[in-house]
Structures are given as C-alpha cells and as structure tokens.
Chain A
Amino acid sequence: GDSVTQKEGLVTLTEGLPVMLNCTYQTIYSNAFLFWYVHYLNESPRLLLKSSTDNKRTEHQGFHATLHKSSSSFHLQKSSAQLSDSALYYCALSEANTNKVVFGTGTRLQVLP
C-alpha cells in the first residue's frame, strides 16, 4: 500500500536559520496528492499546503514545497525559521481512488532563540 516516510523525528534549530523537513512517499497512483499538515500544541492539525503537480512550487505562510515525482519527494522548506514555527509537521498522501489519507510519522520542529 501507499506510505509516507519522514525520517527526522525531531529537528532543532536556531531562529533565523533555514528549515527543511524531509518527506518521501510510495504510491502506485500517478495522480496522488501530497500534503503538509501542521499541528500546534493544544490546537487541531490543519493544512499548511498541498500539491499534485510535478515540479511546481507551492507556497503558504512563508513555507514552500515542490513535488518531485521522479524522486517521490515533497520536502517542506522555509528560508528563515521563527519561534512560532515550533510545531509537529505531518506529510501526508491521498489515494486517488479512495480519498484515504495516509500520514507520515511526523517531524517535530523546535525553534530556539
């Protein structure tokens, strides 16, 4: 079945440094959607950005990601981390035929002053 891999469980960095959270996936569907959801403490997870278009950069709230089907990757990036970016970030994949959404194990981003 489909799967999403987020190798880093915890990423710690200093405010102002660039952020890159890795996401790779496996799917048999050529038209699958990839998502990044963010989960702030004491809130509900919510969508950060999504894409199904190969090699197109998607941006939202200062974050961006580009879906690369050739390498099955959808890494999340930001040029300069802020303290308020500290949260749990999930990469997810949506199966085209069933609307079933599969999540990775999540990466906790901790931004320090």
Chain B
Amino acid sequence: EAAVTQSPRSKVAVTGGKVTLSCHQTNNHDYMYWYRQDTGHGLRLIHYSYVADSTEKGDIPDGYKASRPSQENFSLILELASLSQTAVYFCASSGTGGAGNTLYFGEGSRLIVV
C-alpha cells in the first residue's frame, strides 16, 4: 500500500510568520503534489514536482514556495503566512507512465493562521 505522510498534522501560525509543511513518501514515485482544500473550491493545486531539485507552479502558487530535496521529500513553505492561507493541505504522490496514474494522498495538514 502506498504511503504518504505529512507533518505537522495540525498547526496554528501567526500572521507574518513562516510555516513549513513537510511530506514524505515511500512509494518510489517521481511525482509529488501539494493541494489545498477549501469548502466551495475543492482541491486546488499549489505546486508539484516530477524530479528532485525541481518544482513546478500549479494553479494557485502565489504566497507559497516548494522544495523537493530528494525523491522522497516535498515541502511547502509559507514565508509570510496570511489569514487567507488557513486551510487543509494535502500532499500526494504518483508514479510515471502516463496521465492515468493514481494519486496517493497523505492524511492532510490543518493550518490555522491567526
């Protein structure tokens, strides 16, 4: 079974502070993704990566940075957290081999910015 783990699972951050969400996968997958989940917006893609040391912008990258130091690890960084970034964040991984690859999601990280 695919394994994607996220940390922290829950965090309260202050406005203007720095937040790092971490994701680790043991699936040997090349692709990793960061999504945020908001009621009424569903899952929206922030950043993704298909190889270590390289990241790509998703649909809503503003205010977020990403880092992929190794195949297994993918971090999402909020340099200056804002109230609008309060959401649940999901990391996912998938293999190569075409567009039909299944996404395997982590448990989610609930971020509250105050």
Q: Are A32 and B99 interface neighbours, CB within 8 A? A: yes
Residues of chain B within 8 A (CB-CB) of A106 are 42-43
Q: For the complex, give the distance between the alpha carbons of A95 and B45 in Å.
A: 13
Contact residues in A for B98 (Cβ distance below 8 Å): 33, 96, 99
* Among listed B16-24, B63-71, B72-80, B102-110, interface-contacting one: B102-110
CB distance from B69 to the nearest CB of A (A): 20
> Which chain A residue has the least Cβ–Cβ distance from B102?
A47
Contact present for A100 and B41 (CB under 8 Å): no
- Chain B residue at minimal CB-CB distance from A97: B99
The interface centre, meaning the residue of B40, B94, B102, B103 with most chain A CB atoms within 10 A of its CB, is B103
Q: Does B35 contact A (CB under 8 A)?
A: yes
* Residue A22 interfacial (CB < 8 Å): no
Looking across the interface, which residue of chain A has its beta carbon closest to that of B43? A103
Picked from B58, B96, B106, the residue with its CB within 8 Å of the CB of A100 is: B58
Other-chain residue from A33, A47, A99, A103 in contact with B44 (beta carbon distance below 8 A): A103
Asked whether A37 is an interface residue with its Cβ less than 8 Å from the other chain, the reply is yes
Q: Are B90 and A45 in contact (CB under 8 A)?
A: yes
In the complex with contacts A44-B108, A46-B105, A100-B48, A105-B40 CB distance below 8 A: yes
Main SS of the interface on chain A?
loop
B45-A101 in contact (CB<8A): yes
One of A9, A90, A95, A102 near B40 (C-beta < 8 A): A9
Is B59 close to A, CB under 8 A? yes
Q: Of residues 63 to 113 in A, which have CB atoms within 8 Å of B's CB atoms?
A: 90, 92, 94-106
Q: Is B54 an interface residue (CB 8 A)?
A: no
**Are B100 and A50 in contact, CB atoms less than 8 angstroms apart?**
yes
Report B-chain residues with C-beta under 8 Å of the C-beta of A6.
Answer: 42
Residues of B within 8 A of A (CB): 4, 31, 33, 35, 40-45, 48, 50, 56, 58-59, 90, 94, 96, 98-108
Q: Which 10 A-B pairs have the closest CB atoms?
A: A94-B99, A105-B42, A103-B43, A44-B105, A106-B42, A33-B100, A96-B99, A47-B102, A33-B99, A45-B105
Give chain A's interface residues, CB within 8 Å of chain B: 1, 6, 9, 31-33, 35, 37, 44-47, 50, 52, 90, 92, 94-106
